[in-house]
Amino acid sequence: MASACVAASPQRQSAPASALAKLLALGCVDPEQANPLAVYFDGVAVDDPRGASQVGSLSRERQQDDENREGAERPNRPMVSLKVEGIAMKHLGRVVVLLALLWTHLAHAGPFEDGAAAFRKGDYATALRVWKPLAEQGHAEAQAILGLMYGKGWGVPQDDAEAVKWYRRAAEQGLVQAQSALGDNYREGQGVSQDYAEAVKWYRRAAEQGYAEAQFNLGDMYEDGEGVPQDDAEAVKWYRRAAEQGYAEAQFNLGDMYEDGGGVPQDDAEAVKWYRRAAEQGLAKAQLNLGVMYGIGQGVPKDYVEAHKWFNLAASRFPADEKEKRDEAVKARDYVAAKMTAAQIAEAQRQAREWRPK
């Protein structure tokens, strides 16, 4: 095994190794330090004073900073009172982009805008009363928002079949957000029988119009071989189109393809480039992978300060339902910290505190 932590030729794997496992495998962490009996509390190793309380304090401090900064910079930003915390992350993009249809209309006058204003206040009954006639008259955006309301049960009984009906009407008019949402429903079998080929059809229609979320999803279908023959090169093509528009999940997947050599020549430097773009937007799993690259010197010069910073940020940003990933980031950070001086740790912590998404 190379003592300089140089990776062997990567193999395309069905599931990536954990950050800690990768550090161990490449000789960057002493196996004796990998204590399986270490006690963790809220994602922090309590028996390591250098790592204790970093995650919670960093998250709380930056959350308060962000709230203060947003309040100062955007005092007139429309606020939406929606209970979205229970929505799976893979559906959050759908919610955000469909709600964005509303904000583009708030400065104008008309029935759709009246519904948008009511929706923004949480008055779903009024929004539904205004939008449903518009949707029945063929207003594509009203149709798409009705699909969202039925899909989430906002102001109406939750009904996936009804959501699909309205998404389809908007999608057939060419509304990319509805086409992508309809693809999601077919992929997951919500409101319709699961049909990967039909999901691919709707993703492709939106992707060919330049819609980044659909481009990402289409790439994912090609990588997984769902509804289409498995094709890493085609996956890379669609990931790249979405990534170049700034879609963080696509940037992460493109980095993964370069790191593993899937559909492209293996290129660690290119992997780092795309991981960094996603990490700088705040995508926790990209921050974790970027930390690994710095920790083992893969695609970049080895830099424990950078590794510690990105592991720390990842640990603070993984949501509660991804506790295992958060713990993985904490463990990787703490094992890197064991190789650092107190001054280096302090510098990494300072950089993490001052970091803001781009």
Q: Look at residue 48 in the predicted model and tell me its pLDDT.
A: 33
Q: How far apart are CA 147 and CA 162, in angstroms?
A: 7
Q: Is 44 helix (H, G, I), strand (E, B) or coil?
A: strand
Higher pLDDT, 155 or 26: 155
Average pLDDT on 211-227 reads 98
Question: In the chain, where are the structural domains located?
Answer: 16-60+282-358
**For residue 56, is pLDDT > 60?**
no
**Per-residue confidence band for 61, with pLDDT thresholds at 50, 70 and 90:** very low
- pLDDT band at 110; cut points 50, 70, 90: confident
Q: In this structure, what DSSP letter does residue 18 have?
A: P
Tell me the average pLDDT across 17-42: 47
Round to whole Å and give the CA distance between 166 and 187: 17
Beta strand 44-45 with 40-41 is antiparallel
Q: Which residue has the tokens 């085609």?
A: 234
Residue 32 contacts residue 57 (beta carbons within 8 Å): no
Residue 198 identity (one-letter amino acid): E
Here the tokens at position 123 are 């008055």
Whether the predicted pLDDT of 22 surpasses 80: no
Question: What pLDDT was estimated at residue 111?
Answer: 84
For residue 137, pLDDT over 80 is answered with yes
Residue 25 — very low, low, confident or very high, per pLDDT cuts 50/70/90?
low
pLDDT of residue 50: 32
| 0.85 exceeded by pTM | no
The pLDDT of residue 99 is: 63
88 or 233, greater pLDDT:
233
More confident of the two residues 59 and 50: 59
Average pLDDT over residues 225-245: 98
Could you give the 3-state DSSP secondary structure of residue 15? coil
Residue 35's pLDDT is 34
- The CB density around residue 161, as the number of other CB atoms within 10 Å, is 11
The 3-state DSSP class for residue 242 equals helix
Q: Which distant-in-sequence residues (6+ apart) come within 8 Å of 78 by Cβ?
A: 103, 106, 120
With cut-offs at 50, 70 and 90, classify the pLDDT of residue 204: very high
Q: What is the pLDDT of residues 65-76, one digit of tens each?
A: 444 434 333 323
Whole-Å CA distances, 324 to 40, 41, 126, 200, 305:
11, 12, 42, 31, 23
Which is higher by pLDDT, 254 or 66?
254
Report which of 325, 256, 248 is spatially closest to residue 279, judged by C-alpha positions: 248
Average pLDDT, the chain: 79
42-70 average pLDDT score? 37
Locus of tokens 């990776």: 7
Cβ atoms within 10 Å, residue 277:
23
Rounded Cα distance between 348 and 159, Å, is 48
